[in-house]
Amino acid sequence: MSNVKETAVELRGISKYFSGTVANDKIDLEVKRGEVLALLGENGAGKTTLMRILYGMYRADEGEILIDGKPVTINSPYDAMNLGIGMIHQHFTLVPVHTVVENVMLGLDGPYDPGAVAEEIRTLGRRYGLEVDPYATVRLLPVGMQQRVEILKALIRKACILIMDEPTAVLTPQETDRLFDFVREFRSGGNSVVFITHKLNEVMNIADRITVLRAGRTVGSIPKVEASESALARMMVGRDLELTTGQPAKNVGEVVLDVDNIGVISSRGHRVIDGLSFQIRQGEILGIAGVSGNGQEELAEVLCGLRNAEEGDIRVSGKSIVNCAPLAIIAEGVGYIPSDRQSEGLVLDMTVAENLMLKGSSDPEFTKGRFLDMAAIEENASRQVHEFDIKTPSVSTRTKALSGGNQQKVVVAREIAIASKLLVAVQPTRGLDLGATDYVHRVLLRERDKGKAVLLISTELSEIMNLSDRIGVIYRGSLLRVFTRENADIGEIGLLMTGIRGESNE
């Protein structure tokens, strides 16, 4: 690598205010030619906002942007693209019902010629190892492929500064490696990459330099060679944080959950779960790993009565609950932490106290005759707020005013109260900062140690590896294999997540 590199992008004193929050507070940032800059920070630190400003999707309230040393105004992504800036968004900006070539052509200047663009897609795909069928419908492509389409969109517009917003969140370990190969290849052509992430190991792997954001401000910027994971973690969180690692289960008891060969057909007529069987015992966490969209959500929904199974049986402590109403399943002591707390877990316009009793509106604990017992509801809420350390001005505050971490604590508190036997947790730490994530992890382990059975469904492999006593891999609605904690191998699990079966020695 050359020693002195030219600056490609410089952001000076960028501020961005959303109603009530300062997303970016006088941020300075520099990206050099031919370097990979990791933009590191917790969820909510302001990384996406800052990069959306550079890409022209948001307008900065203060500050200036310089490209190659010259001040520029970027009013829309169109301007950004003309300056050679491309962005891969965390939630892909693709039109699912259109083909790859239509997606790439959207907004492209020049004559409407799908054939020529398809040819260009193939050429670029070969050159960078991003092959994809130009005439495939995006909706039918796996997420890894969809990401390629996003990258190709930027490449075809001749981007030389590529922003990638948490690109590995949806990928398997092998896909991540391939993405890193692309990033290195792209950098070697003198291009720059801004790589947004909150995963420390990735930073150490791919970055040349690291800029850390915390609560909307720049904490610091250091070259990779001077960085260490622990130092970065401290910069990110602002204090020392000792992360919990799960100890293996000690007292495994009787079978609590027995899923017996279930099959589920989606409303579109696809078979989303196919011959799935497993058991979970008291005092044990079963982790289900897999790329999202392989039947995880459907599995959780069947367990909680939100979806019917066409075949098979589900028993909780020996009692069949398959296709029972949610209320009956709740009565059996099954708690459910859904993957989307805002739309499924909470009613954001209701108060913390109301959300904490939400599923108990017919429970004698919260009712007096036909009416709700408001005193009992509030008392329950005060106790839970105290026990789970939920930061809220009062129990009658609307839940939407809480931070993501505290919202999740409301869900967790309620579901743990319900889950006397089994807790189903789907992506329980999605979008949480490290502190809140660690809290949820500790709670799951604590409940396990109390003798509950826990089903943990997550696409974060590190979370699964860290907490589970046994690990199953789900692919296209089937469990390919279940590992015990001792012989779980991350490489093999990664391969299984893409459907490649190794030697099966169950």
Ligand X SMILES: Nc1ncnc2c1ncn2[C@@H]1O[C@H](COP(=O)(O)OP(=O)(O)O)[C@@H](O)[C@H]1O
Q: End-to-end alpha-carbon separation of the chain, Å?
A: 48
Looking at the Cβ atoms of 169 and 426, the one nearer to Mg ion is 169
Matching residue, tokens 């599995």: 299
- Check residue 248 and report its DSSP letter: P
Looking at the Cβ atoms of 48 and 392, the one nearer to ligand X is 48
Which range of residues in 85-93, 118-126, 293-301, 493-501 is near other proteins by CB under 8 A? 85-93
Inter-residue contact 212 to 232 (CB < 8 Å):
yes
Distance, CA of 79 to CA of 129 (rounded, Å):
28
Q: 66 forms bridges with which residues in the sheet?
A: 10, 71
Taking every pair of Cα atoms in the chain, the longest distance, rounded to a whole number of angstroms, is 78
Report the residue count for the chain: 506
Tell me how many helices (H) and strands (E) the chain has: 16, 22
The site partner of 296 among ligand X, Mg ion, other proteins, none (C-beta below 5 to 8 Å per kind) is none
Q: Is 25 in the site for other proteins (CB under 8 A)?
A: no
Q: Is 135 in the site for other proteins (CB under 8 A)?
A: no
Q: Is 112 in the site for other proteins (CB under 8 A)?
A: yes
What 3-state DSSP class applies to 276? strand
**Of 24, 103, 147, 172, the one binding other proteins by CB under 8 A:** 103
**Of 13, 64, 71, 95, the one binding other proteins by CB under 8 A:** 95
Looking at the Cβ atoms of 165 and 298, the one nearer to Mg ion is 165
Which range of residues in 64-72, 104-112, 194-202, 462-470 is near other proteins by CB under 8 A? 104-112
Looking at the Cβ atoms of 48 and 147, the one nearer to Mg ion is 48
Looking at the Cβ atoms of 87 and 385, the one nearer to other proteins is 87
The secondary structure of 422-483 as a DSSP string is EEEEESTTTT--HHHHHHHHHHHHHHHHTT-EEEEE-S-HHHHHHH-SEEEEEETTEEEEEE
The site partner of 46 among other proteins, ligand X, Mg ion, none (C-beta below 5 to 8 Å per kind) is ligand X
Q: 196 forms bridges with which residues in the sheet?
A: 39, 165
Residues touching Mg ion: how many (CB under 5 A)?
Answer: 1
The candidate with the shortest Cα–Cα distance to 55, out of 15, 88, 87, 103, is: 87
Residue 100 to residues 78, 95, 234, 498, Cα–Cα distance (Å): 20, 9, 42, 21
Shortest Å, Cβ 61 to other proteins: 11
Q: Is 339 in the site for Mg ion (CB under 5 A)?
A: no
The site partner of 89 among other proteins, ligand X, Mg ion, none (C-beta below 5 to 8 Å per kind) is other proteins
**Which residues here bind ligand X, judged by CB under 6 A?**
18, 21, 23, 41, 43-49
What 3-state DSSP class applies to 361? coil
Looking at the Cβ atoms of 163 and 455, the one nearer to ligand X is 163
Q: Is 437 in the site for Mg ion (CB under 5 A)?
A: no
Shortest Å, Cβ 77 to ligand X: 15
Inter-residue contact 233 to 212 (CB < 8 Å):
no
What is the footprint of other proteins within residues 38-67 (CB under 8 A)?
55-58
Q: Is 169 in the site for other proteins (CB under 8 A)?
A: no
Hey, what are 132's tokens? 């994809």
The site partner of 56 among other proteins, ligand X, Mg ion, none (C-beta below 5 to 8 Å per kind) is other proteins
How many Å is the Cα radius of gyration of the chain? Answer: 24
Spell out, one character per residue from 441 to 480, where the chain touches other proteins: x when CB under 8 A holds, - when not.
----------------------------------------
The site partner of 345 among other proteins, Mg ion, ligand X, none (C-beta below 5 to 8 Å per kind) is none
Contacts with 246 (C-beta within 8 Å, 6 or more apart), sequence order: 285, 441, 445, 466, 467, 468, 469
Q: Is 197 in the site for Mg ion (CB under 5 A)?
A: no
How many C-beta atoms lie closer than 10 Å to residue 484's C-beta? 11
Distance, CA of 163 to CA of 114 (rounded, Å):
26
Shortest Å, Cβ 223 to other proteins: 31
Q: Is 346 in the site for other proteins (CB under 8 A)?
A: no
Distance, CA of 52 to CA of 283 (rounded, Å):
45
Contacts with 82 (C-beta within 8 Å, 6 or more apart), sequence order: none
Shortest Å, Cβ 48 to other proteins: 12
What 3-state DSSP class applies to 386? helix
Shortest Å, Cβ 53 to ligand X: 10
Looking at the Cβ atoms of 58 and 128, the one nearer to other proteins is 58
Q: Cβ-count burial of 33 within 10 angstroms (0-12 exposed, 13-18 middle, 19+ buried)?
A: middle
Residues touching other proteins: how many (CB under 8 A)?
Answer: 29
What 3-state DSSP class applies to 291? coil
Q: Is 48 in the site for Mg ion (CB under 5 A)?
A: yes
Looking at the Cβ atoms of 173 and 431, the one nearer to ligand X is 431
Shortest Å, Cβ 58 to ligand X: 7
Q: Is 146 in the site for Mg ion (CB under 5 A)?
A: no
Shortest Å, Cβ 405 to Mg ion: 15
Q: Is 351 in the site for Mg ion (CB under 5 A)?
A: no
Which range of residues in 84-92, 183-191, 249-257, 461-469 is near other proteins by CB under 8 A? 84-92
Distance, CA of 389 to CA of 358 (rounded, Å):
19
Given the rule CB under 5 A, which residues bind Mg ion? 48
Given the rule CB under 8 A, which residues bind other proteins? 18-19, 55-58, 76-81, 87, 89, 91, 93-98, 102-103, 105-108, 112, 153
